Structure 1
Amino acid sequence: METKLNADPAELAKFSDLAHRWWDPEGEFRPLHQINPLRLGWIEEVAGPLRGREVLDVGCGGGILAEAMARRGARVLGIDLADKPLKVARLHALEQQVAGLEYRAVSVEQLAQERAGAFDVVTCMEMLEHVPDPASVVAACAALVKPGGWVFFSTLNRNPKSFLLAIVGAEYVLRLLPRGTHEYRRFIRPSELARWVRPAGLEVVQLKGLSYQPLTRRFTLGSDTDVNYLMAARREAA
């Protein structure tokens, strides 16, 4: 069955143009490097150790999270539709001699047709707000996880506070991100994400907020989900 490509060419081009900067911890992707230990620790806190497990990273970009999970002993497949970031991810993994890590240029919907129920853990971080049909991505992620397995999402809430902090503050004032990284209309409320998650056969288990402290220039995990948030969902065991 042919699947309509759920991707925005402008968004793919945006991240492809910055691909060479992906692994610069002081560059445009500095926030991803800063939050990576937090989100990795939270994933293992909720789902348990990743060692020996089959993991899928959807919208992996240059591989920051995918590589970190492979270093924890998981067998990781990272997928993305932007070719240049994938090339950067493959090269970095090769240079660092990271085992158990593979990358593919394939949509999550297509992969769901190929490998339904194949993964213990599926992650989809900072990606839903960049696609035309995020509900389709959620459904595909749910189809790909095994019974009893975990799916992790992270995205941006949609409200006046998130507009001020995530766009005006992060892109124009603090310059944490390049201007135009996000579009407010694509932000997703937690209630909306939950409405996509439950019909896909997943149960929402935990919601976590991710906040930035300008004075310390650090990110923290907590209960404030007004701007950035993460959601853990689980497929019912067979």
Structure 2
Amino acid sequence: MTDLINVDPAELEKFSNLAHHWWDMDSEFKPLHMINPLRLAWIDEHASLQGKDVLDVGCGGGILADSMARKGANVMGVDLAAKSLRVAQLHALETGTPNIQYREVPVEELAVERPASFDVVTCMEMLEHVPDPASVVRACATLVKPGGWVFFSTINRNIKSYGLAIVAAEYVLNMLPKGTHEFGKFIRPSEMAAFCRQAGLAVTHFKGMQHNPLTGRYWLNEDCSVNYMLATRRPLL
């Protein structure tokens, strides 16, 4: 490891303690399993994953990385939570997931090691958990090839997102462990767009993600007031 590590030790410990639950569909990670088909389809719609070299930043237990590999991509997942990575590796071995590997390495360090190496970079549900999200965005922009795609997802910062993503999800509905999110780390779409522009990425699409707690249904639309994704591209040289 280098001095480029951009991580909150408390966040790392939080997800390490939950590592054994990553592939339990009825655990704290159920929402990630439920939204994964939506985000996978959205990414594939834009970037056509088949045969592409893909990096998943903040991969955790490998939910998205594994599904992208099964779409035909050659995937590397990176994270700093060693326990989560071991769970991801074990799942890939047990289920025979092709063309996937995992590394414990800071994304900023990997950007120095392998600039312009990937056709697609994904960084989902991670930026609201690090001290310096702009640093992660810059690293992702460095890692993608010219003309390649970079996808992010995070949570908007406003009264509505506080009520739904923290109060409702963590304290009323118990969908997530208490303390999963810190409101001050949520990121407005305008801030995300600025991070991307400063990193040399062109923002092409925003997409909101919605949830009905009564029916358990998740869907995508244009409402980015709480959870949202954005697609960006690194311009051709």
What's the counterpart of residue 9 of structure 1? Answer: 9
What's the counterpart of residue 46 of structure 1? Answer: 46
1:210–1:222: 8 Å Cα contact kept in structure 2?
A: yes
1:154–1:229: 8 Å Cα contact kept in structure 2?
A: yes
Q: TM-score, normalised by structure 2?
A: 0.98
1:63–1:86: 8 Å Cα contact kept in structure 2?
A: yes
Secondary structure in 2 aligned to 1:52? coil
What's the counterpart of residue 64 of structure 1? Answer: 63
Post-superposition Cα deviations, 1:57-106, rounded to whole Å, max 9, x if no partner, equal: 00000000000000011000000000000000000000001110000000
1:3–1:109: 8 Å Cα contact kept in structure 2?
A: no
CA spacing shift, 1:87–1:2, aligned 2, 3 Å: closer
2:155–2:188: 8 Å Cα contact kept in structure 1?
A: yes
1:215 Cα deviation (Å)?
A: 2.0
1:221 Cα deviation (Å)?
A: 0.4
1:142–1:151: 8 Å Cα contact kept in structure 2?
A: yes
Q: How does 1:55-134 map to 2 (within 5 A)?
A: 55-134=54-133
The Cα RMSD (Å) is 1.0
The reply to whether residue 180 of structure 1 matches residue 179 of structure 2 is yes
What's the counterpart of residue 23 of structure 2? Answer: 23
What's the counterpart of residue 32 of structure 2? Answer: 32
Supply the distance in 2 between the matched residues of 1:219 and 1:200 (Cα, whole angstroms).
31
Secondary structure in 1 aligned to 2:203? strand
Letter in 1 for 2:149: W
Q: How does 1:221-236 map to 2 (within 5 A)?
A: 221-236=220-235
Fraction of identical pairs, as percent: 65
Supply the distance in 2 between the matched residues of 1:199 and 1:33 (Cα, whole angstroms).
32
Structure 1 segments (4+ residues) deviating >2 Å: 1-4
1:44 Cα deviation (Å)?
A: 0.8
Letter in 2 for 1:64: I
* Unaligned stretches of 5+ residues in structure 2: none
Secondary structure in 1 aligned to 2:161? helix
Supply the distance in 2 between the matched residues of 1:115 and 1:76 (Cα, whole angstroms).
14
Name the stretch that deviates more: 32-41 or 4-13: 4-13
Supply the distance in 1 between the matched residues of 2:127 and 2:2 (Cα, whole angstroms).
22
Name the stretch that deviates more: 1-10 or 99-108: 1-10
CA spacing shift, 1:87–1:165, aligned 2, 3 Å: same
1:5 Cα deviation (Å)?
A: 1.2
1:45 Cα deviation (Å)?
A: 1.1
1:2 Cα deviation (Å)?
A: 4.8
Secondary structure in 2 aligned to 1:169? helix
The reply to whether residue 161 of structure 1 matches residue 165 of structure 2 is no
Letter in 1 for 2:111: A
Supply the distance in 1 between the matched residues of 2:2 and 2:67 (Cα, whole angstroms).
33
Secondary structure in 1 aligned to 2:177? coil
Supply the distance in 2 between the matched residues of 1:6 and 1:218 (Cα, whole angstroms).
34
Letter in 2 for 1:14: K
Secondary structure in 2 aligned to 1:236? coil
Letter in 1 for 2:84: P
2:4–2:106: 8 Å Cα contact kept in structure 1?
A: no
Secondary structure in 1 aligned to 2:167? helix
1:108–1:141: 8 Å Cα contact kept in structure 2?
A: yes
What's the counterpart of residue 146 of structure 1? Answer: 145
1:4 Cα deviation (Å)?
A: 2.8
